[in-house]
Amino acid sequence: MQFTLKGLRNNKNETQEQTSKAIGVSIETWANYEKGITFPDVPTIKKIEGHFNISYDMIDFLCQNKTEKP
């Protein structure tokens, strides 16, 4: 099963601002990740994995319309 960044954030009931602060990126950068405009580097992916307690291979960085719960 794959999860989008937006779906993971929504399932955690966080705003983009809260998630971006937790990950250590700007709100604009996080929004671009969610939209698939830009993609996180490896250190940021590690932070995302830790924040959402999910492995990289379970995150769909390209499809932005799914909202399943992990």
Domains of the chain: 5-58 (1.10.260.40)
Q: What is the pLDDT of residue 2?
A: 87
What average pLDDT does this structure show over 19-30? 98
Q: What's the predicted TM-score (pTM) here?
A: 0.85
What is the rounded CA–CA span in Å between residue 14 and residue 1?
Answer: 22
What is the rounded CA–CA span in Å between residue 2 and residue 24?
Answer: 23
Q: pLDDT grade, residue 63 (50/70/90)? A: low
- pLDDT value at 58 more than 80: yes
42 residue type, one letter: V
Query: The tokens of 42 are what?
Result: 């490896």
